[in-house]
Structure 1
Amino acid sequence: MHVVLVADHAAINGGQAKVAIESALGLAARGARVSLFAAVGPVDPRLEAAGIRVVCLDQDDVTTARSKLAFAAQAIWNGTARRTLARELAACDPRDTLVHVHAFAKALSPSIGPALRDAGLPCLYTMHEFFLVCPTGGFYAYPEQRICHRRPMSTACIVANCDARSYPRKVARMIRHAGLVQVARLPELFSHVITISDLQEGVVRPLMPPGTVFHRVDNPIAVAEAPVHDGAPGDFLFVGRISTEKGAPIFAEAARRAGVRAAFVGDGPQRDDLAARYPEAAMCGWRDAAGVQALMRQARALVFPSVWYEGQPLTVYEALACGTPVIVSDACAGREAVIDGETGFWFRSGDPDALAAHLRRLSDDGLATRMGRAAHDRYWTAPLSLDAHLDRLEGVYETVMRAASARGHAGAAAEQALATV
């Protein structure tokens, strides 16, 4: 099988690119022929070393663009990406090639749609976020600081100022979304969609065309199995972007009300404000993966207070794998990993008093230790390893290829029947 992976970035800069690149390397190691088509460099050196063909356009994303206006045009319709992808796919053998799209919204744009359709190759899409169905990609109203339940591109959606930065940027994103639906017709094109949580599938299923086939494939995480920390539990830990939608202010306030210390690992737009308002909180900055996991193993609990849906928050699974209980918002997909009262707690989203109550409970060393051991034992009965991810992914690929072959045979039979009339 020849697998063509399509992503915005050719190096790891976040969760989407990490999954795409790690799966590319894993598939190549299993003997598949793999190509990666991306807009933004640099290229991860491991890809070419593994024999993976990489086509990188060396374009900008929003973080590197010198001209915001030029980048807005690229993000709405990237003509270079369409033409180059069309050439690449035209050279592929339709009998054994499958195209797997991981991301398009940060640089490639919906222009990949016509290239995919013209190639006629089997394709599928992983829903790492919600850009395929929501113009802003998150079903979150930033000014209101709450999950958005408006139907995408309805009148209520169009007039809502829900973007993180400004309404003009929301307008640009709506223009892109109109092109995605009306010109590229991406929702129709991706008749097979991979989702990464039950919550995510529940949100997007009503918004996708009837007949869309959904496949659940958990993302892999890289945590080595190790004994549970046998010392006294440490601080309550937050890991990630320190921002409003991630619930960072809720955690800081809940920790103060509970009389415990909040430790933040990461950075973001709310860091300085929270450091000033809550001087008792520890701001630890970014750490590498090994450093984060070392802190998790010593923590009393990971607190994941996100107030939006999320996709599949891997931080939650990493903590459980490290033997750390998790206190998670009941509005986000992270709740699916936590057994309430056994491996952690759910709390009412956005409610610092509800979170504070669980912080007080887990101030008990014995309870924190028991929950940590339960979390560790339960996670390692079915770990989210790269091998497990690849096994499931290969099964989905076979299903998609069989469906495409059946459609091809049916089409050929219909043409033959017409020819005999």
Structure 2
Amino acid sequence: MHVVLVVDHAFVNGGQAKVALDAGLGLAAQGHRVTVFAAVGPADPRLEAAGIRVVCLGQDDVGTAKNKLAFAAQAIWNRTAARRLAAELRGLDPRDTVVHVHAFAKALSPSIGRSLAASGLPCLYTMHEFFLVCPNGGFYVYPAARICHRVPMSLACLGTNCDARSYPRKLLRVVRHAALEHVAGLKDVFPHIITISALQERVITPHLPATTRFHRVDNPIAVTRAPLRSEPPGDFLFVGRISTEKGAPIFAEAARLAGVRPVFVGDGPARAELAARYPEAVMLGWRDEAGVHALMRTARALVFPSVWYEGQPLTVYEALACGAPVIVSDACAGREAVEDGETGYWFRSGDAAALAAHLTRLRDDDLAARMGRAAYERYWSAPLTIEAHLDRLRLVYEHVLRDAGRAGTGVRPALRPAPVPARP
């Protein structure tokens, strides 16, 4: 099989790129031919060492661009990316080639849609976020700090300032989304969509063609299995970006109501304000992966109070794997990993008092330890390993190739076949 991975970045700068590049390395190790097509470098040196062909355009993304006006044009329609991708796909055999797009919104732009459609190759897309269906990528109104239920690109959507920075930036994203829908036809390029949670699939289904086939492929996590702790449970832990949409202020307030000490691992725009308002909070800053897992193994519980649609928050799974119960907002897909009352608790999103009630319950050492054991055992009964991820990917790729073969083209067929069974 030849797998062409299309990504914004050829190096690991976050979860999207890590999932894509780790999968590419795993597929190459299994003997498949892999190509990585990316806009932004430098390329991860592991790719070349693994025999993976890398096409990196050496372009900027929103964070590195010095000429913001030029980058705005690139973000709307990246002509260079479209031309180079078309050249790369030309002549590839549709019988054994799958083009798997992971990201386009940070640098490649919707322009790749035309190149993908012209290639006639089987294509699929992993929905790491919501840029394929939502202009701001999150179904979230940042200034108002609430989930958005407006129809994307409707008059209500266009009139709402939902961007984290400014309304002019929202308008730029609206123009890009118009190009995505009406010029690139990007939604119709992907008859197959990989989702990473049931919540995510439910949110996007009304905004995609009725013939779209969904495939659930959990992202892998890298946690070394270690014996459960023997000492009493420690503090309540928050791990991630310290921001309003991640629910950091809700955790701080709930901890005060419950009379417990909140511990924050991470950084973000709300850190200074929370540190000043809640001096009892412990701000540890960022830790490396091993450091985070060490803290999780001694935590009383992970608190994941996100107030927006999190597709598949891996922090939740990492905590469970480390033997920490999780208290999770019912607005995000993290709840799908938690058995309410068994391996943690759900609480009403945005409700500090409801969260505080669960913090109070888990002050009981015996209850916290019992839930931690249940969390650990449930996770390790079906761990989200890279091997499991690759097994699911191969099944999906084979399904996509068969489907394209029946249709005689990579173009969307008329009927929705039965999906590949999802992970239990």
Q: TM-score, normalised by structure 1?
A: 0.96
Q: Which residue of 2 aligns with 1:247?
A: 247
Query: Deviations along 1:364-414, whole A, 9 cap, x unmatched?
Result: 111100000000000000000001000010000000000111111899xxx
> Which SS does the other structure have where 2:408 is aligned?
helix
Q: Any runs of at least 4 consecutive aligned residues in structure 1 with deviations exceeding 6 A, and if so which? A: none
Amino acid at match of 2:398: E
Q: Which residue of 2 aligns with 1:366?
A: 366
Query: Deviations along 1:199-258, whole A, 9 cap, x unmatched?
Result: 000000111001100000000000111111111111110001110000001001111111
> Which SS does the other structure have where 1:184 is aligned?
coil
Greater shift, 402-411 or 77-86, is seen at: 402-411
Q: Is the 8 A contact 2:404 2:410 kept in 1?
A: no
Q: Which residue of 1 aligns with 2:258?
A: 258
Cα distance in 1 between the residues matched to 2:101 and 2:171: 25
> Which SS does the other structure have where 1:285 is aligned?
coil
1:59 and 2:54 matched:
no
Cα distance in 1 between the residues matched to 2:318 and 2:353: 26
Query: Deviations along 1:252-303, whole A, 9 cap, x unmatched?
Result: 1111111101111111111111111111101101111111000000110000
Q: Which residue of 2 aligns with 1:281?
A: 281
Written as runs of structure 1 = structure 2, the 5 A alignment for 1:311-330 is 311-330=311-330
Q: Which residue of 2 aligns with 1:191?
A: 191
Q: Is the 8 A contact 2:120 2:410 kept in 1?
A: no
Cα distance in 1 between the residues matched to 2:101 and 2:296: 32
Written as runs of structure 1 = structure 2, the 5 A alignment for 1:221-236 is 221-236=221-236
> Which SS does the other structure have where 2:381 is aligned?
coil
Give 1:91 deviation, angstroms.
Answer: 4.0
Q: Which residue of 2 aligns with 1:381?
A: 381
Cα distance in 1 between the residues matched to 2:77 and 2:239: 35
Higher RCO by CA contacts (8 Å cutoff, separation 6 or greater): 2
Cα distance in 2 between the residues matched to 1:410 and 1:275: 53
Greater shift, 351-360 or 69-78, is seen at: 69-78
Amino acid at match of 1:279: P
Query: Deviations along 1:292-318, whole A, 9 cap, x unmatched?
Result: 000000110000000001110000000
Cα distance in 2 between the residues matched to 1:75 and 1:10: 17
Q: Is the 8 A contact 2:195 2:216 kept in 1?
A: yes
Q: Which residue of 1 aligns with 2:73?
A: 73
Cα distance in 1 between the residues matched to 2:405 and 2:164: 43
1:296 and 2:296 matched:
yes
The alpha-carbon distance between structure 1 residues 13 and 325, as it changes in their structure 2 partners (threshold 3 A), is same
> Which SS does the other structure have where 2:93 is aligned?
coil
Cα distance in 1 between the residues matched to 2:44 and 2:75: 23
Cα distance in 2 between the residues matched to 1:256 and 1:68: 43
Query: Deviations along 1:130-155, whole A, 9 cap, x unmatched?
Result: 00000000000011111000000011
Q: Is the 8 A contact 2:120 2:409 kept in 1?
A: no
Cα distance in 2 between the residues matched to 1:62 and 1:232: 46
Amino acid at match of 1:3: V
Greater shift, 168-177 or 53-62, is seen at: 53-62
Q: Which residue of 2 aligns with 1:33?
A: 33
Q: Which residue of 2 aligns with 1:12?
A: 12
Q: Is the 8 A contact 2:121 2:409 kept in 1?
A: no
1:219 and 2:219 matched:
yes
Cα distance in 2 between the residues matched to 1:70 and 1:298: 49
Cα distance in 1 between the residues matched to 2:134 and 2:409: 35
Give 1:26 deviation, angstroms.
Answer: 0.5
Q: Percent identity?
A: 75
Cα distance in 2 between the residues matched to 1:330 and 1:150: 20
Q: Gaps (5+ residues) in structure 1?
A: 412-421
CA-based RMSD of the aligned residues comes to 1.1
Q: Gaps (5+ residues) in structure 2?
A: 412-424
Cα distance in 1 between the residues matched to 2:55 and 2:288: 28
Q: How many residues align?
A: 411
